[in-house]
Each structure stands twice: as structure tokens, then as C-alpha cells.
Amino acid sequence: AMPTKYHKLSELRTEPFCQHFGTCGGCKWQHISYDAQLNYKHQQVVDTLQRIGKVEIPEVRRILASPERKYYRNKLEYTFSFMGWLTEEQIKDETAEYDRRVLGFHTPGRFDKIIDIEHCHLQPEPSNEIRLFIRDYARENMLRFGNIIKQTGLLRNLIIRTAESTGETMVILQCYREHQAIAPLLDAVYAKFPQITSLNYVLNDKGNETFHDLEVVCYRGKPYIEEEMEGLRFRIGPKSFYQTNSAGAYNLYKVAREFAEIKPTDLVYDLYTGAGTIANFVARQARRVVGVEYVEQAVLDARVNSDINGVTNTEFFAGDMKDMLTEAFTSHHGHPDVIITDPPRAGMHEDVVQRLVALRTPRLVYISCNPATQARDLELLDEVYKVTRVQPVDMFPHTQHVENVVLLELK
């Protein structure tokens, strides 16, 4: 449903800062004051843990605000479309002519409709400048923008990754097929933006835009960028996972480290380790850290991140968590003193939860990007663990998303 008339505006309402608000599918909470957003997210965590988890929880710490309200993302993904979505205002304006070849975001609820974006407030420059240059170059040189439904055309998708701590920038251009126009386009981009550290392209004729199983060609520069955190450098490739709010991630990891209370004699398990960011972040406090991750490329990234930082007390293993976290695995690698788990939105497989119950680890830190599935898992863990600390963290201002960190200790 869509509102047709406002009779009275809430006192919590504020003027959206983006010209695309209401049409673009992102930043849907712009019209709510940031303090009110934090209050809603804080209460969401409390209600979810109590209603779904049905577990006793201590007083929930005040939610940590994002260090930045705008330009906080280090990664954005845009889609090309030969037939962009027009707003109601554009349709009514009979005097103007609009170029329907667009590069932007999906409209809410429509995978096949793309709105052209003039300025996005999510990622720092040169993100907007690069996107607009590529769009305008493609228009002027008559390059074919993609047809999402028919999966035809040339230009498909654009990903821009930035690392604020190092000033590095990565660009990944996805094309449906090989074409002689790709090289001149990339040359023009690099000539205009010589600060680009890593310029890449992918040929993708699949039915979706994922490219984890495809070759990424590094056209100019190096095949990665690096982000820095507490003196550690983390290498980020085109396929690497890295928290999209770098400053917010630092808040999140500091909370996890505080809750873990790692001692120099401790063996730490880092489950769903990704590129080993948390594992390397806490390794200096631990005797040894064992990371487990489903995605094999991420495990390779994690090992590289340990190597470039001179971290020698980490080990990383690839495999499905429910198949990896077995009695044989813990017998071989040692019984953990601390477990840090940071699963995807779906939460942990029930077999993994039951294994954690059987392990009876003294301290279990559960990081979640979905309090609902976290609460479901906490109900199962309640058999032997009690929740002793809860800290919500806002990583995505102006959206409904909230991260939450929970400390569980043996009853």
C-alpha cells in the first residue's frame, strides 16, 4: 500500500535529504529523525529477544550509533538498464525529454525497474563521480545498456568499493559478453580517475549478477584494495566479504572483543570467519585462533590477511559449518575457551547450535545481522547458556537493519 494523503505528520518526521527518497529502494527511514531510528532499533532488539527467544536477558545496553550518518558504505552496486523507471513527476512533465538509459538502483519491489541516480549519499567520492562518468560515456558512445528481463545488451552491472582508511578504490564492471568497446571504456575511466587502485571487469551471461564462480579480469592496477583497522591491513578482492560500514564494523568488533575477554592462554574459535577479519582482530589477545568458513575463497583471503599482518597464531578451514564443527574437529584442534560466531542472516543451522550446546564453552559471543534468527538460536542455546550482555549496534543508518552482539555464559 502507498499513502495518498497525510492528515498529520509525526513529530519524529524529518525532511529526507536525498532527492531520490521514496522512489529508490534504499534508505527508507530518511524521513525519521536519527535519534528515533536508534530508539526503534533498540526496542526491536529487546522485543525480538523476549518474544522469539523467550529467554531472560539483562538490561540491554544503549544502541551504538553509526560514526557516520551519510557516506558510510564502502561498497555499492548499480545496475544498467536501457529502459529506466520514470518518476510520477517526470511522467507528468510533458515538456522534458528523459534519456531512459540509466545506471542506478532498483525501485522498491521491482527487480526489473531501475531508477537513474544523480547523487547517492551512501558512499564517499569518487563513487558518484565514477558512476556518472561511466553512464555518460556509455550514452555518448552508444554502448548498449542491459535489458534485465531478456538478459541482453552489453553493460550489466557496476560495483564500486572504497577504503576510507587507505584512500583506495576498486571498480568492477560487469558485461554480458566480450566486446571491443569494453577496453576503450575502461581506458577512459582510468584516464579520468587515476586514483583508482583496482580496475576490473567480468563477463557474466548467467541469469543473475553473482560472479563468485566467474573469472574477474584485473584490467589496471592491483587485484585488491586494502582497509586498515588498529594497525592491521585487510586485503579486499572483488569477491571478498568485508563489512560494508568500515567505521561501524570497528565498533562491532570492539564490542565482540570486549565481551570475549580473551586471555593469553585462550583458544578461540571464530565461526563464519569470512575473510578472517575478526580472527585477526582478536589474535593478539589469544594463544591461538581457529577460523571456520563455508566459502573457500574467503578462507584463502583470511590466510592472506594473517600473512600480510605477520599473524602466526591463526588457522583457517573451509567447509559447511554443520559438517566441520564435529567432535573429531574439536578433539583435533582443541576445546575452545571462547567462541565467536557471526553467521549470515539465516542464523546457525540447528546441528551447529546443538554442537555449541554440547561444547559448553565458557564464553560464547554471538554477533548477528538479524535479531530474529539470533533469538531463535538463543532459545535453543538456553539449555546450558545464559545471556549476560546485549549490545545493539547501528551499522546502516536510515534503514531498518540492526546488528546485535550477545554474550552467553554457562549457567
> Between these two residues, 378 and 92, which has the higher pLDDT value?
378
- The DSSP annotation for 354-365 comes to HHHHHHT-SEEE
How much is the pLDDT for 8? 83
Exposed / middle / buried, residue 344 (Cβ in 10 Å: 0-12, 13-18, 19+):
middle
CA distance 141 to 132: 14
Which of 9-13, 160-164, 194-198, 297-301 shows the lowest mean pLDDT across its residues? 9-13
CB atoms inside a 10 Å sphere around CB 210: 11
C-beta of residue 62 within 8 angstroms of C-beta of residue 42: yes
pLDDT range class, residue 3, cuts 50, 70, 90: confident
Does 27 participate in catalysis according to the annotation?
A: no
Give me the chain's average pLDDT, please. Answer: 95
Say yes or no to pLDDT of 355 above 80: yes
Dihedral of CA 37/41/47/51: which sign? positive
CA R_g for the chain: 23
How much is the pLDDT for 1? 62
How much is the pLDDT for 118? 94
Say yes or no to pLDDT of 321 above 80: yes
How much is the pLDDT for 121? 97
C-beta of residue 339 within 8 angstroms of C-beta of residue 363: yes
CATH topology of domain 75-221: OB fold (Dihydrolipoamide Acetyltransferase, E2P) (2.40.50)
C-beta of residue 154 within 8 angstroms of C-beta of residue 181: yes
pTM above 0.85, yes or no: yes
C-beta of residue 235 within 8 angstroms of C-beta of residue 301: yes
Exposed / middle / buried, residue 139 (Cβ in 10 Å: 0-12, 13-18, 19+):
middle
Give the CATH class of 45-69+245-410: alpha beta
Pairing label, strands 338-341, 267-271: parallel
In this structure, what C-alpha cell is assigned to residue 116? 537513474
Residues of the chain above pLDDT 70, percent = 100
Alpha-carbon separation of residue 258 from 63, 135, 234, 252 (angstroms): 16, 45, 21, 10
- The DSSP annotation for 284-328 comes to GGSSEEEEEES-HHHHHHHHHHHHHTT--SEEEEES-HHHHSSHH
Nearest to 173 by CA among 192, 189, 157, 151: 157
In this structure, what C-alpha cell is assigned to residue 80? 544498467
Which of 72-86, 97-111, 165-179, 359-373 shows the lowest mean pLDDT across its residues? 97-111
Say yes or no to pLDDT of 253 above 70: yes
- The DSSP annotation for 120-188 comes to -SSS-TTHHHHHHHHHHHHHHTTPPBPBTTTTBSSEEEEEEEEETTTTEEEEEEEESS--TTHHHHHHH
27, 120, 175, 369: the active-site residue: 369
How much is the pLDDT for 168? 98
How much is the pLDDT for 6? 80
Exposed / middle / buried, residue 346 (Cβ in 10 Å: 0-12, 13-18, 19+):
exposed
Say yes or no to pLDDT of 389 above 80: yes
Domain boundary assignment for the chain: 45-69+245-410, 75-221
Say yes or no to pLDDT of 2 above 70: no
**Interval 38-93: pLDDT, tens:** 999 999 999 999 999 999 999 999 999 999 999 999 999 999 999 988 877 777 77
In this structure, what C-alpha cell is assigned to residue 260? 570475549
In this structure, what C-alpha cell is assigned to residue 237? 578482492
Say yes or no to pLDDT of 9 above 90: no
Say yes or no to pLDDT of 34 above 70: yes
